[in-house]
Amino acid sequence: MVANSTVANTQPKRLSIGIIGGGIGGVAFAVALSRDSQLDVQLFEAAPQFSEIGAGVSFGPNAVKAIQLLGLENAYQRIADSSPAPFEDVWFEWRRGSDDTYLTASLAPGVGQSSVHRADFLAAIVAHLPEGIAHFGKRCIDVKQDADSATASFDDGTHFTGDVIIGFDGIKSAVRPHVLPPEQYGEITPFWSGTYAYRGMIPTRELEAALEAKGSEKRLAWVPQMYLGKDRHILIFPVKQSQLVNVVAFITDRSIPNPKLSEGEAWVQAVSQAEMLDVFAGWSPACQAILGCIAEPTRWALHELPELARYQRDRVLIVGDAAHALVPHQGAGAGQALEDAYVLATLLVDASCHRHNVSDVLATFEQVRHARTCKVQRTSHEAGDVYEYAGVGIGSDEAKLIENLEKRFDWLWNHDPHDDVLSARKALGLDN
């Protein structure tokens, strides 16, 4: 028996894959690949351990489908929040921010507002990652490739060489300049969307009491809400098994095209409650109750990427936020990373994929994903305009606003990422 296992361990692997970045997408991708014993999978994370910044993350039906397809549904369902009956299908209720008037609801049947605390979800996925795959303190500083291999270099002086490098390394990706060389494509850097987001977490019972004190219904604390106004909106939804409420309050500068942050301004910083309250002065009783519970908000300058011409260069591919970082207005960013993870992993674990044709597989992945991910970027930005009475052809016309909000997510949510796999297999000449 020992002899056999020794022989098995010395067999060359079909494919060697280096993953740069250990966020939700990168780890889900690594878990999916690790189930194939013929793949050598190594994941490199810059931080000293797995960690996630931010608080709540929202998943639409398409993202939940990707989680199911990735074999992570049980891990997800153990920690996912959902609204109580009869509101279980509500993604958000939409209200006028000035006076709390109910406008409409966006419904995601069977899913609703499926959300988790980012760190909890990452930990749940990490539990499925076999020992020996993850390496920490590995900040990628350069990527190179030749006809036969790709190499990632790290700031501790070490290197990884494999058949492919997959950049799951976020909006500030170190892999991206290799895929899109600046001398050919210009400097591609994240740009400020013009929107600041004030964030905080509130114990649910505390928010219920604050809402009641303002004469508002306490159910607003546990059914996801979106409050709309000119150049501003506020969203809330429960996380941590409804023990906490995740709050994000947005303000957008539309006074000039392409606004810029002040030189040297940090993307994330602690600010006073007074600053946040001043931004929403005159808003409704419920909004005042919500923001009044956040004593120490943080303010995030929301950045995004332009739509990129390509995601792949021979043996190197960027995915997730490294390829298509977007603003959070459709709750779609993590979902796109998970769709990427499922589609790419499914193509790479196929026995027909090997080191000599893997560049073609990566190119086909880009071919089936590019238009969708670019559209998600574009429509996520547009969604912020709609919520803040700046939607083209909609503005503050509530009848048009309601019509848009009831239907605008259908194309995004009604997508099965397995269809992308089938399209890719067809393009590669494989049997469906």
| Residues 389-416 pLDDT 10s | 999 999 999 999 999 999 999 999 999 9
The span from the CA of 123 to the CA of 51, in Å, is: 8
For 369-395, the DSSP string reads: HHHHHHHHHHHHHHHHHHHTT--TTTT
CA 280 to chain CA centroid, Å, is 27
| Residues acting as catalytic residues | 199
Residues 134-157 have a mean pLDDT of: 97
Residue 349 is predicted with a pLDDT of 97
Instruction: Quote the tokens at residue 211.
Output: 């809402």
User: For residue 53, which amino acid is it?
Assistant: I
The number of CA neighbours under 13 Å toward the Cβ of 101 is 7
- 252, 386 Cβ separation under 8 angstroms: no
| Residues 249-275 pLDDT 10s | 999 999 998 999 999 999 999 999 999
Question: Residue 432 — pLDDT band, cuts 50, 70, 90?
Answer: low
User: For residue 149, which amino acid is it?
Assistant: S
CA 382 to chain CA centroid, Å, is 17
Report the CATH number of the 13-79+116-186+308-393 domain.
Answer: 3.50.50.60
Say yes or no to pLDDT of 6 above 80.
no
Residue 206 vs residues 18, 84, 202, 218, 234: alpha-carbon distances, Å: 46, 19, 7, 10, 18
**What phi and psi, each to the nearest 5 degrees, are found at residue 318?**
-110, 145
For residue 396, give the 3-state DSSP assignment. Answer: coil
Where are the chain's structural domains? 13-79+116-186+308-393
- 67, 338 Cβ separation under 8 angstroms: yes
- 330, 294 Cβ separation under 8 angstroms: no
Longest dimension (CA), the chain: 76
Question: Residue 56 — pLDDT band, cuts 50, 70, 90?
Answer: confident
The span from the CA of 386 to the CA of 406, in Å, is: 12
- 298, 198 Cβ separation under 8 angstroms: yes
| Residues 356-383 pLDDT 10s | 999 999 999 999 999 999 999 999 999 9
The span from the CA of 267 to the CA of 278, in Å, is: 20
Positive or negative CA dihedral for 67, 69, 70, 73?
Answer: positive
Which one, of 112, 39, 26, lies nearest residue 341 by Cα?
26
Range with the poorest average pLDDT among 183-192, 234-243, 272-281: 234-243
First-to-final CA distance of the chain = 38
Which one, of 229, 252, 396, 402, lies nearest residue 327 by Cα?
252
Which one, of 239, 193, 191, lies nearest residue 52 by Cα?
239
